[in-house]
């Protein structure tokens, strides 16, 4: 079956006036700040104005461990929101803002796809309302002021070798991963080795996503630790004197962005924290608004349930106080076949032809990953619904294999054709989600604030990832001890590891057991409010591939964007 490109579908969509979209959520025109006809920011007064309304059902969309191609979580999120509206429910969608680094790299845009996408496609993938640039500017003004503090006498005694605050840019540029600044004469700063991360990896981005108000964001920005003295005393952005200026640069960015889907379902697009070293979820303020304005709010958590969903539960919900009513677990035939260990899927390359052949036994061979991710949802007391994201190359026998595994694990399951069918293609999924969301909530956090950092790390490693235990390099163990002595021990943990395996080794497929999680380094995002152990080689500044999407993106004689995917 051939369907138009995402860009063609986006341009053919009939969009409703954004005021009507807002009104369906109870948002009056006084709460909207227009950025053209199809995008608006929502004033934070909406949180208080809608505060007396009952909360809608709160649904998170996650997935099994994905292939490098992704398995369609955003498309499923959008399609489910559209299906709920077709069933007469007032539904809204809440997703992260795409980073332009991946948009111009291999991944392409991140606004859903086919007939389940956010429109206009060009707007959401290219700048939107400038939030990414605000994060970049706020992050880098702090870096500049840290450098200036060193140059102007260093009254706080900041050790140049223990400065942890780097710079950011919203591009994929491997040559900026490690740089030396301050070269030149004495007026050009203090020479030291540092580097750049992509903007989505900035702690400022994580703060934007986890803040509950402008005041809360100001406080969090002030708590950012930029480095340490030679005696190990942390130095904060507040002490450097940068937090106020950072907040000024972020004062518009904290307002969620309102858009719509191709079927006119309201969408709140806000924040885009990295899914590897941050919590990989959209903003709390967007969810606070949406859950008061809609009967159902469908949001997405990055990567598999062992990563984005675990952080949604234990970091985002811990901060917001919101309680999820159901969780959708996206599964695909191709991903489960990859988890059999018999095929290799590479980003940017076509799928192996033998993987596309009908073979339900290969699906069953990789089903351990699905069982474990269902268990990871249940660990938090949330009802799982398995959504089989159907591809044209799938076979009914393969869908039946997934259904059998999911039902044996006690999960609801449905096949969804939202990519080709929009909301109508996801009606069965929407009905299953409504059933799950009507069950009494038994939501629980995986660990208490009072647990020490090692207990938190080991709880996630053993109960969520399936590890036999955890090993700590000497520097990582020392960092944990230092963080606890500095009062950071009550923070939740956000384990940075590969998203391509339940383990820390991307080559281990399925649901490996008997392995040890190696913690090589531990860092603290004190402003965002979490400690992140690093397990493996985590790239916080991606590079471009041999043929990045940027080569194909252009503009025609009519001023229309071409080549965006």
3-state DSSP of 147-181: HHHHHCCCCCCEEEEEECCCEEECCCCHHHCCEEE
Mean pLDDT rounded to a whole number for the chain: 94
Domains of the chain, earliest start first: 6-129+253-437 (3.40.50.300), 133-241 (3.30.1510.10), 453-534 (3.10.410.10)
pLDDT tier at 1, thresholds 50, 70, 90: low
For the ranges 65-79, 282-296, 315-329, the lowest mean pLDDT is seen at 65-79
- Tell me the mean pLDDT in the region 450-474: 98
Q: Are 491 and 279 in contact (CB under 8 A)?
A: no
pLDDT tier at 565, thresholds 50, 70, 90: confident
- Tell me the mean pLDDT in the region 12-35: 97
Per-residue tokens: 306: 């062992």
Identify the pLDDT of residue 559. 85
Helix, strand, coil: what percent of the chain each, to 5?
40, 20, 40
Identify the pLDDT of residue 539. 82
Q: Are 80 and 429 in contact (CB under 8 A)?
A: yes
Residue found by looking up tokens 């870096």 in the block: 143
What is the Rg, in whole angstroms, of the alpha carbon atoms belonging to the chain?
A: 23
**Most distant CA atoms of the chain, gap in Å:** 71
Pairing of strands 234-236, 40-42: unpaired
Reported pTM? 0.95
Q: Are 82 and 416 in contact (CB under 8 A)?
A: no
Give percent above pLDDT 70 in the chain: 99
pLDDT at residue 108 greater than cutoff 70: no
Q: Are 419 and 117 in contact (CB under 8 A)?
A: no
- DSSP conformation letters of 301-368: BSSSIIIIIHHIIIIIHHHH-----EEEEEE-HHHHHHTTTS----TTSPPPHHHHS--HHHHHHTHH
Question: How far is 369 from 96, CA to CA, in rounded Å?
Answer: 25
Q: Are 465 and 503 in contact (CB under 8 A)?
A: yes
- Tell me the mean pLDDT in the region 465-494: 97
> What is the CA 546 to chain-centroid distance, rounded?
26
pLDDT at residue 106 greater than cutoff 80: no
Helix (H) or strand (E) holding 192: strand 192-194
For the ranges 140-144, 239-243, 341-345, 503-507, the lowest mean pLDDT is seen at 341-345
Q: Are 324 and 382 in contact (CB under 8 A)?
A: yes
pLDDT tier at 488, thresholds 50, 70, 90: very high
Give percent above pLDDT 90 in the chain: 84
Identify the pLDDT of residue 68. 86
pLDDT at residue 241 greater than cutoff 90: yes
Higher-scoring residue by pLDDT: 185, 222: 222
Per-residue tokens: 516: 């040890």
pLDDT tier at 513, thresholds 50, 70, 90: very high
Identify the pLDDT of residue 48. 96
Task: Kindly list the distances between the CA atom of residue 53 and the CA atoms of 49, 87, 412, in Å, as whole numbers in the listed order.
Answer: 9, 22, 30
Per-residue tokens: 181: 């600044």
Torsion angle defined by CA atoms of residues 544, 549, 550 and 553, in that order, rounded to the nearest 10 degrees: 180
pLDDT tier at 486, thresholds 50, 70, 90: very high
DSSP secondary structure code for residue 422 in this structure: G
Query: What are residue 312's phi and psi, to 5 degrees?
Result: -55, -50
Identify the pLDDT of residue 495. 96
Identify the pLDDT of residue 74. 95
- Tell me the mean pLDDT in the region 47-73: 94
Write out pLDDT tens, residues 113-163. 999 999 998 899 898 999 999 999 999 999 999 999 999 999 999 999 999
């Amino acid at each position: 079956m051939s369907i138009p490109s995402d860009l063609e579908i986006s341009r053919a969509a009939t969009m409703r006036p954004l005021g009507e979209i807002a009104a369906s959520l109870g948002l009056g025109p006084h709460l909207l700040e227009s950025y053209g006809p199809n995008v608006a920011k929502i004033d934070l007064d909406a949180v208080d104005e809608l505060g007396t309304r009952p909360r809608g059902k709160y649904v998170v969309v996650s997935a099994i461990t994905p292939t490098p191609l992704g398995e369609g979580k955003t498309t499923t999120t959008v399609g489910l929101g559209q299906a709920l509206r077709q069933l007469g429910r007032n539904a809204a969608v809440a997703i992260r803002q795409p980073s332009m680094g991946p948009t111009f790299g291999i991944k392409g845009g991140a606004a859903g796809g086919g007939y389940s996408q956010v429109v206009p496609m060009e707007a959401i993938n290219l700048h939107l309302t400038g939030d990414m640039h605000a994060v970049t500017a706020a992050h880098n003004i702090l870096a500049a002021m840290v450098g200036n503090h060193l140059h102007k006498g260093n009254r706080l005694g900041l050790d140049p070798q223990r400065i942890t605050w780097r710079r950011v840019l919203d591009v994929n540029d491997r040559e900026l991963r490690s740089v030396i600044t301050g070269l030149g004469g004495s007026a050009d700063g203090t020479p030291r080795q540092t580097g750049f991360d992509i903007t989505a990896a900035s702690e400022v981005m994580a703060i934007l996503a986890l803040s509950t108000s402008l005041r809360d964001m100001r406080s969090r920005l002030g708590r950012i630790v930029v480095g340490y003295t030679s005696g190990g005393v942390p130095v904060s952005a507040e002490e450097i004197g940068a937090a106020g200026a950072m907040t000024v640069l972020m004062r518009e960015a904290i307002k969620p962005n309102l858009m719509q889907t191709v079927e006119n379902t309201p969408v709140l697009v806000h924040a885009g924290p990295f899914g590897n070293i941050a919590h990989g979820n959209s903003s709390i303020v967007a969810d606070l608004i949406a859950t008061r304005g809609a009967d159902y709010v469908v949001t997405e958590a990055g990567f598999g349930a062992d990563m984005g969903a675990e952080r949604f539960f234990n970091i985002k919900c811990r901060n917001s106080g919101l309680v999820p009513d159901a969780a959708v677990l996206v599964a695909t035939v191709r991903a489960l076949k990859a988890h059999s260990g018999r095929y290799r899927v590479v980003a940017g390359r076509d799928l192996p032809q033998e993987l596309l052949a009908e073979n339900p036994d290969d699906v069953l061979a990789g089903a351990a990953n699905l069982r474990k991710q269902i268990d990871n949802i249940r660990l938090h007391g949330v009802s799982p619904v398995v959504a089989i994201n159907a591809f044209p190359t799938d076979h009914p026998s393969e869908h039946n294999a997934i259904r059998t595994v999911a039902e044996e694990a006690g999960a609801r399951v449905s096949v969804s054709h939202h990519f080709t069918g929009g909301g109508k293609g996801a009606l069965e999924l929407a009905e299953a989600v409504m059933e799950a969301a009507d069950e009494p909530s038994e939501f629980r956090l995986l660990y208490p604030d009072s647990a020490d950092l090692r207990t938190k790390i080991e709880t996630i490693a053993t109960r969520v990832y399936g590890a036999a235990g955890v090993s700590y390099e000497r520097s990582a163990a020392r960092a944990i001890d230092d963080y606890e002595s500095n009062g950071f021990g009550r923070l939740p943990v956000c384990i940075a590891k590969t998203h391509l395996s339940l383990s820390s080794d991307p080559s281990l497929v399925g649901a490996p057991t008997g392995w040890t999680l190696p913690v090589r380094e531990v860092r603290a995002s004190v402003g965002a409010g979490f400690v992140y152990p690093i397990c493996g080689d985590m790239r916080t500044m991606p590079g471009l591939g041999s043929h990045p999407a940027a080569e194909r993106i252009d503009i025609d004689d009519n001023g229309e964007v071409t080549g965006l995917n």
